[in-house]
Amino acid sequence: MSIATTVAHSAQLTKRSVRGRLRQPAALAPAFIFPLFFAALGSASFNRLARDPYFSENIASSFLDYAVAGAVVQGVLFGATSAAGDLATDIEQGFFERLLASPISRVSIVLGRLAASMVVGVSQVVVFISLFVAFGARVTSGAVGVIGLIVSGALLGLAMAGLMAAIAIKSGSPEVVQGSFPLVFVLLFLSSAFFPRHYMTGWYRTVADWNPMSHIVEGMQGFMNHELNVDQFVKAWLVPLGISIVGIAFALRSLNRRLAAS
């Protein structure tokens, strides 16, 4: 099957996925409501931190500015998990089989879902930044920084969707996908998504230092709170891109195994 056909099929399935997400507002809400709530809670609770010289000189001018990146990352991760749940539901309810029985590009079945995650990720970043700016946050690096954030959100969505899609295809069960959601939560909390690493201590600090999520978040925080520099692009783009490649590889491998088994 030609690349053009694969792209065309993927585009169709992407449209289907996005439409499906929009028609389940109850499933979409947690990906928006909880991150915004936690950011609001954090900025109202931890603003004293902004008076600490280290914070204001090196991290951000306010806790709200700090919290934006964490909210974006949280929203994108929640959204990617839901998307994988939808894929597992397709498998469980037989729609996946229907697609396989049609002359559709096999790879597009997975790519469609992943691309939809990117689309949702982008919209989440746009919505979050708009809301936070309306409440007083500032993107220090300007328009390029905003683009940097958007691309980062898309890549992170792709990365998580790839990994979760692998789990979804392998298990074929929405419950298993939901069951892996706590791991996402753990990954987020043991990072600098909600609070600066600088203030953590002991083993917690060590884990946060090694957690790739810390670096992705800090790259995004760099776009928000500092002038542009290469380090931000490396952390916010290259790290999720690397994870995306691994995630997509796993997802496609799971797909091939499922096809071979049937």
Partner 1 sequence: MSAVVETRRHDANARSLDVIVALVRRSLLRVRRLPSAFIPSLIMPVFQLVTFSGAFGAAVRFLGIDPMNWYMPLNAIQGASFGALGVSFGLLNDMETGFFDRVLMAPARRSIIVFGSYAAAIARSVVPVTFVILVSFLGGLHTPGGPVAIAMVIMASVMVALSACGLALGLTLRLRNLGAATLTQFAIFFGIFLSTSQVPLSEMSGWLQACARVNPMTNILRFARQGFLGDITWAQTWGGLVAMVALLAASTIFALTGLRRFER
- The residue ranges that bind partner 1 (CB under 8 A) are 26, 37, 40-49, 52, 182, 185-186, 189-190, 194-195, 199-202, 204, 208
Residue 103 to residues 15, 99, 227, Cα–Cα distance (Å): 18, 8, 50
| CB of residue 72 to partner 1, shortest distance in Å | 18
- Among candidates 182, 151, 177, which has minimal Cα distance to 163? 177
| CB of residue 242 to partner 1, shortest distance in Å | 25
Q: d(Cα 35, Cα 125) in Å, to the nearest integer? A: 11
Q: CB-wise, 204 or 210, nearer to partner 1? A: 204
Q: CB-wise, 1 or 210, nearer to partner 1? A: 210
| CB of residue 35 to partner 1, shortest distance in Å | 13
| CB of residue 102 to partner 1, shortest distance in Å | 33
Q: CB-wise, 7 or 200, nearer to partner 1? A: 200
| CB of residue 185 to partner 1, shortest distance in Å | 8
Residue type, 34: F
Q: CB-wise, 6 or 62, nearer to partner 1? A: 62
As a dihedral over the C-alpha atoms of residue 50, residue 54, residue 55, residue 56, rounded to 10 degrees, the angle is: 70
Token pair of 132 as six digits: 């936070």
On whether the CB atoms of residues 13 and 113 are closer than 8 A, the answer is yes
Q: CB-wise, 203 or 262, nearer to partner 1? A: 203
Q: CB-wise, 46 or 132, nearer to partner 1? A: 46
Q: b/e string for 69-106 if b means 16 or more Cβ within 10 A?
A: bbbbbbbbbbbbbbbbbbbbbbbeeeebeebeeeebbb
| CB of residue 146 to partner 1, shortest distance in Å | 27
Q: In sequence order, what are the residues at sequence separation of 6 or more whose Cβ sits closer than 8 angstroms to the Cβ of residue 132?
A: 39, 64, 67, 68, 71
| CB of residue 13 to partner 1, shortest distance in Å | 29
On whether the CB atoms of residues 116 and 110 are closer than 8 A, the answer is no
Q: CB-wise, 20 or 30, nearer to partner 1? A: 30
Q: d(Cα 21, Cα 173) in Å, to the nearest integer? A: 18
